[in-house]
Structure 1
């Protein structure tokens, strides 16, 4: 095998030679599918611009390379070898029959023992993905199709190795053009050009060639549920005909799990003439990156026929609005929810309280709040108990208890209550000397604070503004150096951490620093501030991100917020002094370092399987990083974060070790944090103005449910009307939103949008 190069190098090389590429998933269930984000519509976004390619692969370095065949002026003959259909052998026989030298066309040996034969198409000729009269096991990828590009290295190490030079691809020979263009006589006899209405009769309105083009967008190695739905959809569209069965078998044979035609026949006979329709096939094709608009145009469909499983080929779903504001489908009477699942289910998605001091602190903070934020309160409690453990209690992996916690909630929704109680708990527990500043002006201010207070917890409000300042391109070097020193202190544990040296100030050693942060911000403020910088430099993944309630229920506080219960104060003291008095010293010298002075308490693994539980999560993190490279930055410190939380909980219940329940809680809390980070990055961070506009629209629809067009335009004042129309049209075509006509009892119908 030839030496491999990185996917970035391979993608750049292809782009510089004029081939249109885009990132795909390199492994996992979505392997070989377009990576979303950043590619919402591969057919529109595939690019041969090296700068764009560099941006994509700088963010997703392990992404596989998708090659847009049609835009690159190519057609690919895809010969697979699965089950009883040996497309590789059939292609060899076909080429021999026409005296075609197989070495005259570049060939890529695919990891599944198949071959991709590359040809160019005559100028002005537009070949789609229909296979015409080609034998079973051979597919065509043309306009509206893509393949994994030569040189791609998949997550499991398998390589798409090319024999020959892509630039030397010959023109598609006439004999092969004739075979591809030849009609399938059986199909023409068995399948009507148009079927009856969508309701009742399930003989569809798509020709066999159109179904083939939709199938070309879907890999047969998709998940079982999708594979099964595809077969049902083909059955519905073709009326269960023999031609439909042949097409279903031919498509399924392209998957590595293909067991032969008999399995397809058995399932085919079991399908009823109801349920899933051909619109489901369009939905699945779109989800796999298919350009339904291009397919519709190719088959002379009206431009608005972009069907989905919910509303077939209609652009506008007809909705009736009752006097009380309730929306219902005009045809079915189905009530349309006007608030998002995220908003409705927020309270159900809050974590439970852990045992011991952490849970007691969190419950007390909630009981003293006018607008309770349970999850954010748990985050505050973790930093408080973590501070009491600081410099003298270690987990079984010798990690410390430093935490950077960030609670996100809208303005005026109760996130300030946990923030205020941080200082109150520390003051009444006689630990006020460990309260850090609410903000750092420069890197030197962090260093000076650590010299005075090597064990500190900083309660920080409006954290998004702070991050905007330290990541601003206009910021000075001392401001922009703050994230680096925060990263250093997070990782120091019980080691010595050296501070930077500048001007007349010498570097100093901070002995076993414990710097924790509890911060709050709004989603918009925080994500708009970092613009991806904190993700790429490793700052964001050191934070435990907590998504608070969007609309907490307001009520009178149950307890006096100014008086910390004596039980909590006593428990804080027990944790704080667990390793002896020396551990509480506020001195930055070697004698006051508990680890070096013999005052370090290490909590070992409990023999109940806690270590195995943690290692399972460690493997999960590593596997997810490999399978989802776009999320790798968020998972890289997941296992360490989980054991820190578990250690804090164990210390808070005055345990002798870290047990399985402690680990399970830490793992669950970290998973929630990572999922919140991934969702936040997707919803708020963008590479260009169009992506930013899409993200804003998604957020609005998530918050409000069904939104009228005029209300959307008022909310998005910064976007020109023409640009907004273009963005909404793209989102509709990409299957991201549903466009509806809402008819109120009075007035004309109003165009409205809903997130799908």
Structure 2
């Protein structure tokens, strides 16, 4: 795509980059950004991005300024009327000669480009005589004509339209050799100096707020009273909101004056003079929409925080008075239907398609599963199996191997909402390790850098890392977060996973200032057969928000066994104080230090006291009967990778067979066997393949989506809990703040427009108890 705009850039068009399948600039500071050269754009461009152009002052072509006329025809039958009016407006130009773009939305709307001597700001020039009611329940002009100039940007072909998925196209391409047609600045000056009543922008209608509602929004932005520009915006927005009501406009002035007292240098007389000077004939109208959008991003909702995972099973702290009062803000809204938290978790899992046999493990490790389930205040049978496997993984790590050089170290990830019972896995594993005298196998809760991974493995070449902040860790490790150390740590974890039967050395570091002995020690440092087991825990929302295509392509996530619980938040239950199973403790104590070779006692003792020593492992071979199963697994993996190639997620299955073989070793030793039998491979295959398939399906639905698409899904997800009555925008924003509430007003409007177009939601006007009319949105039942 970027190559197609090269001639335009070289001609002087101020081309910039937009988000993929969007009209929104990729750079928040696009209006002040420099004019890019083509080489700069090519370096910045990423596959899938749209391209746009900044009009007016930034786009100087042939010594003149590039502008566009936006002909927006919303009612097809009004096309002739709109074109006739545009012909009248540009009396000294020929409309048929102007370069012209048709939007990817289709229809009769067009952008016409021209040059002129001066740089003008955008201005509404004309609109139809009649209005119509749109799908959003609001009235719109049948057509509008607007001059696009300085401060405005538009989408260029061949960008993809966000709603239709179709490309923008040139109806008439600019002839750069012949030159772009000109329209005199005198004519434009005459047009923009006309009737100011046409200067309003879309979405300029008041929000029909009450004075108290406006006061609530202003209370969220007290610091704006100290900033002159922001203070003016608030005054203009308030006056615009209540200008049509003579009684309320007086109250609006008093509210503005009351709020202004929070700022430095308050003066009532000057406030009143400024208030009287606020008009609606400015180039860009300021409305309460911008104030509401800012308030939604503020501390208004910061008191509604997620419970700390570490304290999820403790009694919650009493809510603050502010939180208690906020519970009554939406009494006029629909109640959220209660969830069946007391339903049998096994019945729910069965309904969700989880096979019964993957909720238990052959052999002694089943007692770990039983202990977990018996002592869990919040039932999570899937996490019980994950905890048992992670325990077996670290106990047998480094000292046990198959004849295919598979060791037992694995990475696990448990996903459940806050207060969903994730933390119990950490307690169970640490209790068993401590009781068996293996607490030295417990590692840090996280790694701050590659050096952190390496130094921990030097002193503890076999250990387990249990982290309850995996979502935040994944987010901070991504390049955009600016945390290079976390990114290096992630790369180290990837490398260690594949070095279980080899040697791992970290990157070289400066030895300046070191003695020769210190430098030699650093340069020669290495870990032989590193054995790292990792168990991560996070919420699904944190995980998917942090997720990107890069995490799949670089092979990081395909190293994990990811289990997302469908049980949701669990009601706490009374549990008895069960004792740790002694058989498991004896098994762990014995198996952790068993080694291969002839001199077991000497080698085993050395392995216990000398972390750097890697003894010969005990070999547990695959029986011949396992070979057809392993071959079939390899073919199945290839088929899945071929299927996922189209969506760029084939790497998800890059480690599946290897993980299943490692798990089969854990199961065989748990089952007391010295040979891996078909039943062990089949259990491991079923477990790994089931959750890998689930993971692939979840990723297909969460990766590669734009922020707008994720917001659409979040809105529908919440409205599904609201029943037929639905909910207003501010309530949806509060309940789905991360994916919807943080969007700009324009982006929220885009979300609702998409959902209404696709008939996923419907809109109705509803009068709240406080007297104001607001649109409410409800899910359309399929």
- Could you tell me the TM-score, scaled by structure 2's length? 0.50
The answer on whether the counterparts of 1:12 and 1:53 sit within 8 Å (CA) in structure 2 is yes
CA distance, structure 2, for counterparts of residue 718 and residue 542 of structure 1: 32
Counterpart of 1:414 in structure 2 is 421
Counterpart of 1:752 in structure 2 is 778
Gap change, CA 1:376 and 1:699, over 3 Å in 2: farther
Q: Does 1:546 align with 2:547?
A: no
The answer on whether the counterparts of 2:559 and 2:655 sit within 8 Å (CA) in structure 1 is yes
CA distance, structure 1, for counterparts of residue 339 and residue 20 of structure 2: 28
Question: Which of residues 656, 679, 696 is equivalent to 2:674?
Answer: 656
SS in 1 for 2:359: coil
1:676 is displaced (CA, Å) by 4.6
Q: Does 1:614 align with 2:636?
A: no
Q: Does 1:733 align with 2:757?
A: yes
Q: How does 1:99-498 map to 2 (within 5 A)?
A: 348-349=351-352, 350=354, 351-395=358-402, 397-471=404-478, 473=480, 477-498=484-505
1:516 is displaced (CA, Å) by 0.6
SS in 1 for 2:364: helix
1:721 is displaced (CA, Å) by 4.2
Counterpart of 1:593 in structure 2 is 615
Gap change, CA 1:434 and 1:511, over 3 Å in 2: same
1:601 is displaced (CA, Å) by 3.8
The answer on whether the counterparts of 2:420 and 2:570 sit within 8 Å (CA) in structure 1 is no
CA distance, structure 2, for counterparts of residue 413 and residue 39 of structure 1: 35
Question: Which of residues 655, 658, 665 is equivalent to 1:640?
Answer: 658
Question: Which of residues 567, 571, 577 is equivalent to 2:583?
Answer: 567
CA distance, structure 2, for counterparts of residue 424 and residue 529 of structure 1: 31
Gap change, CA 1:713 and 1:518, over 3 Å in 2: closer
CA distance, structure 2, for counterparts of residue 370 and residue 604 of structure 1: 41
1:373 is displaced (CA, Å) by 1.2
Question: Which of residues 677, 688, 693 is equivalent to 1:670?
Answer: 688
Gap change, CA 1:703 and 1:524, over 3 Å in 2: farther
- The higher radius of gyration belongs to 2
1:399-449 per-position Cα deviation (integer Å, ceiling 9, x unaligned): 221111111111111111112111111111221111111122332222111
CA distance, structure 2, for counterparts of residue 532 and residue 672 of structure 1: 22
Counterpart of 1:204 in structure 2 is none
1:648 is displaced (CA, Å) by 1.8
1:515 is displaced (CA, Å) by 0.4
SS in 2 for 1:366: helix
1:689 is displaced (CA, Å) by 4.1
The answer on whether the counterparts of 2:473 and 2:486 sit within 8 Å (CA) in structure 1 is no
Counterpart of 1:528 in structure 2 is 545
Mean CA deviation greater in 436-445 or 653-662: 653-662
Gap change, CA 1:41 and 1:416, over 3 Å in 2: same
1:50-94 per-position Cα deviation (integer Å, ceiling 9, x unaligned): 789843499xxxxxxxxxxxxxxxxxxxxxxxxxxxxxxxxxxxx
Where does the alignment leave 5 or more consecutive residues of structure 2 unmatched?
9-18, 24-37, 51-96, 108-162, 170-331, 512-521
Gap change, CA 1:578 and 1:431, over 3 Å in 2: same
CA distance, structure 2, for counterparts of residue 51 and residue 675 of structure 1: 37
SS in 2 for 1:546: strand
Gap change, CA 1:699 and 1:543, over 3 Å in 2: farther
CA distance, structure 1, for counterparts of residue 4 and residue 688 of structure 2: 39
CA distance, structure 2, for counterparts of residue 339 and residue 40 of structure 1: 39
Where does the alignment leave 5 or more consecutive residues of structure 1 unmatched?
1-10, 19-37, 43-47, 59-121, 128-141, 145-287, 295-322, 328-335
Question: Which of residues 693, 712, 715 is equivalent to 2:732?
Answer: 712
Gap change, CA 1:583 and 1:728, over 3 Å in 2: farther
CA distance, structure 2, for counterparts of residue 289 and residue 346 of structure 1: 38
Aligned residues: 465
Structural RMSD (CA): 4.9
1:508-553 per-position Cα deviation (integer Å, ceiling 9, x unaligned): 2211110011121112223334555533432222121110244354
Question: Which of residues 691, 694, 700 is equivalent to 2:718?
Answer: 700
Gap change, CA 1:703 and 1:428, over 3 Å in 2: farther
CA distance, structure 2, for counterparts of residue 605 and residue 491 of structure 1: 25
CA distance, structure 2, for counterparts of residue 529 and residue 607 of structure 1: 39
CA distance, structure 2, for counterparts of residue 41 and residue 667 of structure 1: 42
CA distance, structure 1, for counterparts of residue 755 and residue 418 of structure 2: 29
CA distance, structure 2, for counterparts of residue 433 and residue 387 of structure 1: 11
The answer on whether the counterparts of 1:392 and 1:601 sit within 8 Å (CA) in structure 2 is no
Q: Does 1:55 align with 2:47?
A: yes
SS in 2 for 1:541: helix
Counterpart of 1:163 in structure 2 is none
